[in-house]
Amino acid sequence: MDNGEERAVTDRTQFEVREKPFYQPQRNEVALYEAAYAARLPVMIKGPTGCGKSRFVEYMAWKLGKPLITVACNEDMTASDLVGRYLLEANGTRWLDGPLTTAARIGAICYLDEIVEARQDTTVVIHPLTDHRRTLPIDKKGELIHAHADFQLVISYNPGYQSLLKDLKQSTKQRFTAFEFDYPDAALEAAILVEESGIDAHSAERLVNIGAAARRLKGHGLDEGISTRLLVYAATLIERGVAPADACRMALVRPITDDRDIRDTLDHAIDAIFA
Amino acid sequence: MSTEAVASRSDAAWAERLRVCRERLDCRFPQVSDVFEACLVKAEHVLSVEGVDAYLDCARFLGRMGRGVEPVLVFLAEWPAVAAILGEDALPIIARTVQVLSKSPNGKAIAPFLQTLAPVARRLAAREPMQHYLDLTLELMERTSGSIHGIHKTFASPGLPEFFTHAPTLLNALSIAGLRNWVDYGIRNYHTHPERQRAYFALQSADSRAVLQRERHGTLLVDQERRLDLYLRALWHDSAPLLPYATDVEQVAKPAPYFDSCGIRLPDVLDDARGVSGQQRYQIALAHIAGHRRWSSPLVADNFSPMQRLAIEFLEDSRIDTLILRQYPGLRRTFLALHPKPVEGACDPATQSSLRHRLAMLSRALLDPEHGYHDAVLLDFVGRFARTMASGEASSEEIAQLALSYVARTRRQSDQLATVFFADTEVDYRDDNRHLWRFHERSDDEEMFDEPPRPAASAELERLPPRHYPEWDYHSQSYRPDWVSLYESLHPSGDTAAIDRLLEKHSALARRLQRLLDLLRPQERVRIRYQEDGSELDLDIAIRSLIDFRGGATPDPRINLSHRSNGRNIAVLLLLDLSKSLADRVEVGATGGEQSILELSQEAVSLLAWSIEQLGDPFAIAGFHSDTRHDVRYLHLKGFGEHWGELVKSRLAAMQAGYSTRMGAAMRHAAHYLAARKAEKKLLLILTDGQPADVDVHDERLLVEDARQSVSELDQQGIFTYCISLDRKADEYVSDIFGRRYTVIDRIERLPERLPELFMALTR
Ligand SMILES: Nc1ncnc2c1ncn2[C@@H]1O[C@H](COP(=O)(O)OP(=O)(O)O)[C@@H](O)[C@H]1O
Ligand SMILES: [Mg+2]
């Protein structure tokens, strides 16, 4: 893979997932992912914010024993932020690989989180890595990288964004196999809260009921309901001794809405559920 | 003076007292003699000796005023009751008001004033608000007397007597501050129109009632509607139109909430009560109804006697409340506050029917572990109820059995008596349980289906040959080729002025939208800074980087800038569902005005078209409806090439509602036009008020599945579909079709502002 140029060999182990992450499977996604990885197919994970997409990828990297490089995408990101760039130094310039290039070289799973946040001219650089060529041209260096045999590309994306301009290009979507995630069902979600925060099962169940109430308001003034992540936050606060009603208002309601009617409705749900 | 004192006085002494007082009254109207003794008894009962004297003096003054016998009679009859509430030393302020009235041309108003003084006092309950009331009265008099035709104070106020007559009704609904506002509105608007003024103060004109409604105390359903709708969805996973019924202000027993196929009916206004706010009372009433909707199933009424039905209803209500509290234990306090607490032994079963009272006690005990009742049978049934509920949710049937054995166990002869003990037995958050009963004896329910006449295919509608589209059959997971025939034509034209009027109405909204539009409007050339590769050097950044570099720090390499021209490259097609339901009317605002959905859609579409025109995005509008698969109509309202102008407005003005909603075919045809556009992004907006359906399709899923299929076809073509649904029940199918790309507009009257806002949010 190395084109001979002098370059510090990247330490592969630093990207390894050392401890087993807790992941509660929702269906057969673990087996399906393994199959996709075995064929080195690119994977897209769709689903609302905070439903366990990142946790899943982390868990799969651990299970497969592959390094994981995660990139949180944002609007200001350019292609160079992914591929790499020359740095100016006192005695000349030095090339620095971007995370995508590093992953391709060392055979990591490269996880581009919330990819729609990146501009579309940025996302196109992943195209050649997603077809049978599995290559990454670095124009500035005149180098063509052939991806390591272990390399895999994973993107996550939240189709709930209600903006036409923040949707993935059809030509990008067509390159991925896809998982559709959603918030776990009540029993699983409660189990996750218990595991993640140490809260008791009964309180976990109540939190999940509040989550369910909020999710029913989607499309009626809420773009998205309360995420599993926020429920974990609330559970954590309660576990640390915060009164449940306060924890819920702070972790579940205030973050997601400025709409007074919705806020009052959810506050009422909290009071009704936590006697 | 106490009752005994009066009673024990000898007849002779009383006759003497009566004579002295009659003399002091010094009034020769024979009618007075008829009632005087009764009035005096009452007066002696509540007034001191000096108080009685003052009473008689005031009555004498009234008799000599020259306004006939009426004022004296009314005063004699009413004052003791008023004094009992306000204290007898309130007399001077009342007397002063009467004097002012009598010196003005408003003498005729004195009798009505005195007539309603007792109920008004009962409502106001204290001296201070009474003073406000009197001040308000005089102000009303001042401002409405005699200013007609500039002749000063010669004419009586036309509204004043009416005002006094209705004052108790008004004060039942309004606080004194609310009353002042209501009076003020009437004066300001009608002080020069005697007739209209009279109608206003007699509560006969529409605006008079509207202002009354606006000023009512308590919580209005219209103000809570969205909140309650959200509440019903979030906590109960249920949704139904929430419809107010009028609670007459004069009515003592308010009708109970109920629900039927049209929706959930709740009182139009609820006061705070027993420490529970009006809003909470609505929530509890709604929770109870939602509980019935979830857990109750109807029983055959003919099988039971009225008493058995009463018992079944009480126990079924208790079952529902129990289940609600299992899920929402936090509501217990509110339930307990609202549920009456009948007093054990308050009702004498020898003389009154006590079944209601027994049941209300049982109902209390089932809700409140600390009921403190001792009755053995009651305690036994509390235990049996708990055992019935222990296994799970139980059922209406099981509860009916329990209720029957309760009635059998506690039966009394007196249950048949006509006098029913009512005190503390009405649980006012509960609905009337009409849903619980099915009757075998049915009246013949004939329904008339008269279809609106088909508009004759007008000759000016030039018809192109039909286009054929496939339809998705989800049973076989395959397309039925060329299944649908679609005819397209230009929409007929109407009166442009109608649309201009609608836009005029929304000029404030248009100004607000304008500000949002300005933010969205593409600049000719946009500078993008912080580029590693770009067309120009960004000097500011470059110098900063160089300084960093010289200083030994790693410089930022993003020293270029580039330009992008015109960030928006979007083609938009708005597809309107023109099916029959569009003609439905909805209430708009608190004043109870009505508008059809069609009209609201016209307003909304006009505003949207106006907005998009400002942004310069290519934009087309089309409508559709269908009458079987052989006849789907696609009507062009605005082409991509046309500007928002007279021609388009005139077509929009002629929009009509009719037929059904075969959505898939219309979307495919719209896609055909969008696909031909050379834009980076293509957006198909669908405005609809119902589920895809057509008269020749009986399987409800079929056209839903077909629409879903066409959305994914469009997706493949790079067309982004987004649905704006006006159907409250849309949750059942809209996400099946559109995934996450939809919004349900619950308050249709807000469509005109929501539609353009949604569009801007989508393309931001
Ligand atoms: N299936 C799951 N198993 C374990 N934890 C989960 C699961 N789903 C959600 N979580 C919890 O929710 C949090 C947010 O999940 P994350 O994967 O970051 O969401 P996403 O990437 O979808 O935005 C995690 O930190 C974890 O606590
Ligand atoms: Mg994440």
| Per-residue tokens: B680 | 């980076």
Q: Which of B100-104, B702-706, B717-721 has the highest mean pLDDT?
A: B702-706
Distance from CA of A220 to the nearest CA of B (A): 6
Residue B514 shares a structural domain with residue B549 = no
Supply φ then ψ for residue B588, to 5 degrees: -120, 115
Ligand nearest to the CA of A50: 1
Taking Cα atoms as reference points, which of B742, B733, B722, B748 lies closest to residue B693? B733
Q: In chain B, what percentage of residues exceed pLDDT 90?
A: 38
With respect to residue B488, please indicate whether it lies within any of the assigned structural domains: no
Asked if residue B290 and residue B181 are part of one domain, the reply reads no
Please tell me the distance from the alpha carbon of residue A246 to that of residue A237, in angstroms, as a whole number: 9
**Residue after which a domain boundary falls, among B507, B540, B565:** B565
B176 plus B279 within the same structural domain: no
Q: Tell me the per-residue pLDDT of B150-175, one tens digit each, with 9 for 90 and over.
A: 555 568 899 999 999 999 888 888 87
Using CB atoms, pick whichever of A87, A209, A219 lies closest to residue B744: A219
Nearest CA to ligand 1 atom 12: A229
CATH at residue B630: 3.40.50.410
Measured in angstroms, the CA of A209 and the nearest CA of chain B are apart by 9
Distance (Å) from CA A113 to ligand 2 centroid = 6
Query: Which residue, by CA, sits nearest to atom 15 of ligand 1?
Result: A52
C-alpha closest to that of B740 among A226, A44, A222, A116: A222
Reference A69, options A20, A122, A112, A118; nearest CA is A112
Same domain? For B263 and B300 the reply is yes
pLDDT of residue B2: 47
pLDDT digits (tens, 9 = 90+) for B625-654: 999 888 899 999 998 888 888 889 999 999
> What is the band of B460 on the pLDDT scale with cuts at 50, 70, 90?
very low
Whether the pLDDT of residue A41 is over 70: the answer is yes
Fill in the DSSP letter of residue B273. B
Same domain for B262 and B175 = no
Q: In the structure, which protein residues have their CB atom closer than 6 angstroms to any atom of ligand 1?
A: A 22-24, 47, 49-55, 184, 192, 196, 228-229, 232
B548 shares its domain with B579: no
- Say yes or no for a CB contact (<8 Å) between B234 and A87: no
- What are the boundaries of each domain within chain A? 4-180, 186-273
Percentage of residues in chain B having pLDDT higher than 70: 91
Ligand 2 centroid–CA A69 distance in Å is: 13
Confidence of residue B211 (pLDDT cuts 50, 70, 90): confident
CA A108 / ligand 2 centre spacing (Å):
18
When the pLDDT of each residue in chain A is averaged and rounded to a whole number, the result is 89
Residue A6: predicted pLDDT: 44
A261 touches chain B (CB under 8 A): yes
Separation of A251 CA from ligand 2 center, angstroms? Answer: 17
**Residue in this structure with the two tokens 């099916």, named with its chain if needed:** B579
Nearest neighbour of A261 by CB, restricted to B230, B332, B744: B230
Q: Which of B272, B292, B291, B274 is nearest to B282 (CA)?
A: B272
Q: Is the pLDDT of residue B566 over 60?
A: no
Residue B176 and residue B254 in one domain: no
Range of the domain at B178: 3-215
B576, B723: one domain = yes
Q: Are residues B191 and B279 in the same domain?
A: no
Q: Which residues of A touch B722 (CB under 8 A)?
A: 162, 164
Q: A264 at the B interface (CB within 8 A)?
A: yes
Residue nearest atom 9 of ligand 1, based on CA coordinates: A52
Q: Where are the beta strands (DSSP E) in B515-648?
A: 525-531, 536-537, 560-565, 570-577, 585-588, 593-596, 619-626, 632-638
Beta carbons of B231 and A170 less than 8 Å apart: no
Helix axes B194-201 and B206-215, enclosed angle (nearest 10): 40
Domain match, B100 and B195 both = yes
> What percent of chain A is modeled with pLDDT above 90?
67
For B565-595, give the DSSP string.
E-S--EEEEEEEE--GGGG-EEEETTTTEEE
User: Residue B589 — very low, low, confident or very high, per pLDDT cuts 50/70/90?
Assistant: low
Indicate whether B759 belongs to any domain. Answer: yes
CB pairs under 8 A between A and B: 96
For A97, the 3-state DSSP assignment is: strand
Regarding beta strands A152-157 and A109-113, do their DSSP bridges make them parallel or antiparallel, or are they unpaired?
parallel
- Which pLDDT score is estimated for B412? 86
Residue B522's pLDDT is: 60
Question: Chain B: residue nearest A264 by CA?
Answer: B227
In a domain, B470, yes or no: no
A57 pLDDT more than 90: yes
CA dist B252 and B117 (Å) reads 19
Q: What is the pLDDT of residue A3?
A: 44
pLDDT of residue B491: 87
Q: Which residues contact B509 (CB under 8 A, 6 or more apart)?
A: B607, B752, B753
Q: Which residues contact B538 (CB under 8 A, 6 or more apart)?
A: B529, B530, B531, B559, B560, B561
- Interface contact A87, partner B, CB < 8 A: yes
> Is residue B321 a part of any domain in this protein?
yes
Name the residue of A17, A28, A51, A155 whose CB sits within 8 Å of the most ligand 1 atoms, as the mutation to test its pocket. A51
Ligand 1 mean position to A156 CA, how many Å?
A: 13
Give B250's pLDDT tier (boundaries 50, 70, 90): very low
What is the least distance, in Å, from the CA of B233 to any CA of chain A?
A: 6
Ligand nearest to the backbone CA of A232: 1
Cα-Cα-Cα-Cα torsion B425, B426, B432, B437, nearest 10 degrees, comes to: 0
Per-residue pLDDT at B254 exceeds 50 = yes
ipTM of the prediction greater than 0.85, yes or no? no
Query: Which residues in chain A have Cβ-Cβ distances shorter than 8 Å to B720?
Result: 164, 167
Do B538 and B622 lie in a common domain? Answer: no
> Is B476 domain-assigned?
no
Least confident of A177-181, B207-211, B387-391: B207-211
A71 C-alpha to ligand 2 centroid (Å): 10
Q: Measured between CA atoms, how close is A62 to chain B, in angstroms?
A: 32
More confident residue, B490 or B335: B335
What homologous superfamily does CATH list for A4-180?
Answer: P-loop containing nucleotide triphosphate hydrolases (3.40.50.300)
Residue B393 or residue B749, greater confidence:
B393
Q: What is the dihedral of CA A194, A198, A202, A203, to 10 degrees?
A: -100
- Subunit contact A265:B744, Cβ cutoff 8 A: no
Nearest to B237 among A76, A160, A216 (CB): A216
Selecting from A80, A266, A275 the residue whose C-beta is nearest the C-beta of B234 gives A266
**Secondary structure letter of residue A118 according to DSSP:** S
DSSP string, B48-81: -HHHHHHHHHHHHHHHTSSS-SHHHHHHHHHHHH
Is A269 in Cβ contact with B530 (below 8 Å)? no
Name the strands in the sheet holding A43-46, side by side, starting at the edge strand that comes first in the sequence: A68-72, A109-113, A152-157, A43-46, A177-180
pLDDT at residue B257, rounded to an integer: 93
Torsion of CA B322, B327, B333, B338, to 10 degrees: -50
List, in sequence order, every residue forming a beta bridge with B299; answer none if it has no partner: B437
pLDDT at residue B81 tops 50 = yes
Higher pLDDT: B526 or A58? It is A58
Chain B residues touching A165 at Cβ < 8 A: 681, 763-764
Average pLDDT over residues B438-465: 46
pLDDT, position B466: 80
Per the CB < 8 A criterion, the answer to whether B662 and B694 are in contact is yes
More confident residue, B514 or B431: B431
Do residue B762 and residue A162 have CB atoms under 8 angstroms apart?
A: yes
Residue B141 lies in a domain: yes
**Contact A165/B at CB under 8 A:** yes
Torsion from C-alpha of B125, B131, B136, B138, nearest 10 degrees = 130
Output the pLDDT for position A113.
94
Question: Ligand 1 centroid vs B616 CA: distance in angstroms?
Answer: 42
- What are the beta bridge partners of residue B531? B560
Q: What is the structure's pLDDT at B446?
A: 35
Same domain, B424 and B557: no
Is the Cβ of A90 closer than 8 Å to some Cβ of chain B? Answer: yes
In a domain, B451, yes or no: no
**CB-CB under 8 Å, A269 with B234:** yes
Q: Angle, to 10 degrees, between the axis of helix B507-520 and the axis of helix B496-505?
A: 80
pLDDT at B109: 92
Q: Which residues have C-beta within 8 Å of that of residue B405, sequence separation ≥ 6?
A: none
Which range (A8-12, B509-513, B588-592) has the least confidence? B588-592
Give the distance (Å) from ligand 1 centre to CA of residue A228.
6
- What is the model's pLDDT at position A172? 84
The reply to whether residue A90 touches residue B552, judged by beta carbons under 8 angstroms, is yes
User: Hey, which of A28, A55, A63 would you mutate to test ligand 1's pocket, going by the most ligand atoms within 8 Å of its Cβ?
Assistant: A55
Q: What is the pLDDT of residue A202?
A: 95
**Does residue B484 form part of some domain?**
no
Inter-CA distances, B335 with A45, A245, B218, B282, B311, Å: 46, 20, 19, 12, 20
- For position B152, what pLDDT does the model report? 53
Task: Select from A221, A228, A257 the least CA-distant residue to A49.
Answer: A228
